[in-house]
């Protein structure tokens, strides 16, 4: 057997192993992070429901400050759409407010166009810790098709890290 044949067999075995692992791996991710902010639920809700405020705290939005942005509807209301088209890191897509429960919940749908097509759901739930303390619980969930689902564990770790950084940015802004 030649070295080239051996390399091809090893490569084929590795590809087969990755495909087999992807068959056995879950296809959904569900990441939740939280932070306590020293201000009222009303202040947090009023800030978060304005999707344009993500420019100030969300590190994914901040990845390309020169991204082209379009807005449809009235920010802070159900049906508002925040669309972006940015560099390779920011990609392209849109986020729509799907549901608002005053001072309790902001539910959004994120439709990615590039670097790959996908739909994710991101919710902010607010809980009073005290009159001037609010727990923000940020949940992000989606599905990944086979065989891309082999990367779910890595995606979950990356999302958690970025979400926690964004929540700390939010905390710093709202506690000023």
pLDDT in tens, 137-165: 999 999 988 887 778 889 899 999 999 99
Angstrom distance (rounded) from CA 34 to CA 119: 22
Query: Could you tell me what percent of the chain has a pLDDT over 70?
Result: 95
Coil, helix or strand at residue 113: strand
Angstrom CA distances, 130 to 38, 40, 105, 126, 135, stand at 9, 8, 18, 12, 9
Q: What's the predicted TM-score (pTM) here? A: 0.88
How many Cα atoms occupy the beta-carbon half-sphere of 108 within 13 Å? 28
* pLDDT over 80 at 94, yes or no: yes
123-162 burial, b at 16+ Cβ within 10 Å, e below that, comes to bbbbeeeeeeebebebbbebebeeeebbebeebeeebeeb
Question: 154 or 97: which carries more pLDDT confidence?
Answer: 97
The per-residue pLDDT for range 4-51, each reduced to its tens digit, is: 888 887 777 787 676 666 676 778 899 999 999 999 999 999 999 999
Helix (H) or strand (E) run with residue 169 in it = helix 152-174
Give 122-131 pLDDT, tens digit per residue: 999 999 999 9
Q: Say how many Å lie between the first and final Cα of the chain, rounded.
A: 69
From CA 151, how far away is CA 32, in angstroms rounded? 18
């Amino acid at each position: 057997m030649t070295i080239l044949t051996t390399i091809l067999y090893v490569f084929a075995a590795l590809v087969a192993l990755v495909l087999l692992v992807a068959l056995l791996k879950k296809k959904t991710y569900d990441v939740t992070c939280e932070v306590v902010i020293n201000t009222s639920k009303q202040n947090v809700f009023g800030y978060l429901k304005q999707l344009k405020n993500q420019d100030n705290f969300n590190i994914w939005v901040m990845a390309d400050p020169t991204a082209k942005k379009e807005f449809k509807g009235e920010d802070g209301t159900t049906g508002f759409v925040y669309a972006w088209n940015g560099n390779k890191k920011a990609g392209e897509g849109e986020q729509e407010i799907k549901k608002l429960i005053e001072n309790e919940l902001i539910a959004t749908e994120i439709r990615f166009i590039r670097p790959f097509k996908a739909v994710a759901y991101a919710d902010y739930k607010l809980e009073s810790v005290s009159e001037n303390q609010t727990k923000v619980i940020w949940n992000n969930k989606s599905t990944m098709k086979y065989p891309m689902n082999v990367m779910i564990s890595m995606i979950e770790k990356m999302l958690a890290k970025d979400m926690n950084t964004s929540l700390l940015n939010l905390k710093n802004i709202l506690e000023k």
